[in-house]
């Protein structure tokens, strides 16, 4: 519904719109006139200007305006949101790919890592020698060149009651 259809002022014939010149000259001042009964010029055009709108007409106009504004806002929001949705989708895809690559790199880095636990800590003893002794006793053939790096993992245990030794990590 268009706004112009919602409120239509009353129709006035041409004869009604032409005022009586004598009435205009002899009538009371404009501020004191009663335009509802007087056939003066203001009376003739008064219904066009001050047409009283019924509550139903006002409501219809209000709803029309609200609908048009809502439609315009929705169109503008949709225009603004659409590129953002596409960008979010693209960034989510890139993020997923990067997370997979990061996980693969982490796994690749952990691949040669071996942890030995339960080997007693001896002050000043080389951890590579400890690993080689354990592997020999287990029947595993391992040379010093096979061990790139080895060290204890975690902070030193200062509590004498808990004698659980720290793990030894071996990087190959």
Q: Is 98 contained in some domain?
A: no
How many distinct structural domains can be found in the chain?
2
The secondary structure of residue 162, as a DSSP letter, is -
Q: Give the range of the structural domain holding residue 154, as residue numbers without chain letter.
A: 113-171
pLDDT, the chain, mean? 74
164 has pLDDT over 80: no
- 58 and 117 both lie in a single domain: no
Quick: pLDDT tens for 14-39: 444 444 444 444 545 555 555 555 45
Angle in degrees, CA 154, 155, 158, rounded to 5: 135
Q: Is 83 contained in some domain?
A: no
- What pLDDT does residue 56 have? 85
Q: Report percent pLDDT > 90 for the chain.
A: 25
Domain boundary residue among 50, 77, 104?
77
Q: Is 82 contained in some domain?
A: no
Q: Where are the beta strands (DSSP E) in 34-91?
A: none
Domain boundary residue among 28, 57, 77?
77
Domain boundary residue among 33, 51, 77?
77
Chain centroid to Cα 130, Å, comes to: 56
């Amino acid at each position: 519904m268009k706004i112009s259809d919602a409120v239509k002022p009353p129709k006035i014939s041409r004869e009604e719109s032409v005022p009586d010149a004598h009435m205009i000259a002899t009538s009371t001042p404009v501020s004191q006139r009663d335009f509802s009964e007087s056939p003066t010029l203001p009376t003739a055009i008064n219904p066009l200007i001050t047409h009283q709108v019924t509550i139903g007409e006002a409501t219809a106009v209000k709803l029309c305006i609200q609908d048009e504004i809502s439609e315009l806002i929705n169109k503008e929001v949709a225009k603004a949101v659409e590129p953002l949705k596409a960008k979010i989708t693209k960034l989510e895809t890139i993020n997923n790919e990067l997370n997979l690559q990061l996980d693969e790199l982490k796994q690749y880095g952990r691949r040669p890592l071996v942890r030995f636990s339960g080997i007693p800590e001896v002050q000043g003893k080389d951890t590579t020698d400890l690993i080689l002794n354990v592997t020999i006793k287990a029947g595993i053939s391992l040379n010093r060149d096979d061990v790139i790096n080895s060290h204890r993992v975690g902070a030193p245990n200062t509590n004498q009651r808990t004698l659980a030794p720290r793990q030894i990590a071996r990087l190959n």
